[in-house]
A = this chain, B = another copy of it.
Amino acid sequence: MTQSNRSLTLRDVSEASGVSEMTVSRVLRNRGDVSAATREKVLTAAKELGYVPNKIAGALASQRVNLVAVIIPSLSNMVFPEVLAGVSQVLEDTELQPVVGVTDYLPEKEEKVLYEMLSWRPSGVIIAGLEHTEAARAMMNASGIPVVEIMDADGEAVDAMVGISHRRAGRVMAASILEAGYKKIAFLGTKMPLDHRARKRFEGFTETLAKSGVEVTEREFYSGGSALAKGREMTKAVLDRSPDIDFIYYSNDMIGAGGLLYLMEKGIDVPGQIGLAGFNGVELLQGLPRQLATMDACRREIGVKAAEIIASRVQGEDTDNSVTLTPKISFGDTLRRQ
């Protein structure tokens, strides 16, 4: 309980226990053979002193850092924490530890965060998306460690990738909507030119519509604020402008839920008069009066697979370096089926 300025070193434990620094180090790391008696002495001394090893020195000496950099755009929607949960679950069974960095969807910030993290010489990198600055790409290339790009499968990876095709997700949803006979379709999303995955979904979506000669009738984008509230407002705005809309595709489930609540309040027949769909498959929505049609983004699974790749590579094993998962569509109660 004595508060000192300098923190304790191996030497202190060595002196307190009468065992060489090297042997103390061995005990503390469970490395090599140490007699039970010595081990006991060391452990007691370390505990008594309240010794906490200095990983900085350890890492420098051993040239090994058991950290995995996980770089994601945001923590403030449920999607990335769920990826993280998958990553943690897998790494828990290894020596590795995830360290999270957040980019706020800004490429320059991503570059900065990546630089910071690489300067700690982690054992691997898991990073969201396939779009990065030239410099970021170069750093990942030069790092010499395994790099897994996640969440997206439409593009080229620097090293390895695990994700879904958002373009395909957009196409599949468009096909289901057309098949159900909807014709006047609106798209509501976030005002995020840098959310490449939302953009790709939108591209796939319009592409499939176009093949049937259908165009998106209305679009609306928001930024900031409560997604639920924004979904509500935007839905109202769009329907006020174009009352003949018969389907709304939302770029995420949260704004979709807002729209759904709004339409229910208005007494509008969903999915009869208007159909709805979102994206993500967030568990949260399960408490809503009706289930929104959506597509699962396989978030947890992506985290799991990515972490497995890193873990194998760190062991020196070879792995797949490109895993594409296929999201399931769920029709819920807001997308009628023929």
Binding site for B on A (CB under 8 A): 1-8, 50, 52-57, 59-60, 65, 75-76, 78, 81-82, 84-85, 88, 97, 99-100, 102, 115-116, 118-121, 138-139, 141-144, 225-232, 254, 257-258, 261, 265, 283-289
In the complex, are the beta carbons of B1 and A138 less than 8 A apart?
A: yes
Residues on B with beta carbons closer than 8 Å to the beta carbon of A118: 52
Task: Assess whether A119 is in contact with B287, with CB atoms less than 8 Å apart.
Answer: no
Q: How many copies of this chain are found per oligomer?
A: 2
For A52, A115, A228, which residue has the most chain B Cβ atoms within 10 angstroms?
A52
- List 17 A–B pairs whose Cβ atoms lie within 8 Å, in order of A's numbering: A2-B142, A3-B144, A5-B144, A50-B139, A50-B142, A54-B121, A76-B85, A81-B81, A97-B116, A225-B283, A225-B286, A226-B284, A226-B285, A227-B284, A229-B287, A257-B287, A261-B289
B3 touches A142 (CB 8 A): yes
- Contact between B1 and A142, CB atoms less than 8 A apart: yes
Q: Are B76 and A81 in contact (CB under 8 A)?
A: yes
Closest CB in chain B relative to A79 CB, distance in Å? 11
In the assembled complex, the Cα of A211 lies from the Cα of B6 at a distance in Å of: 52
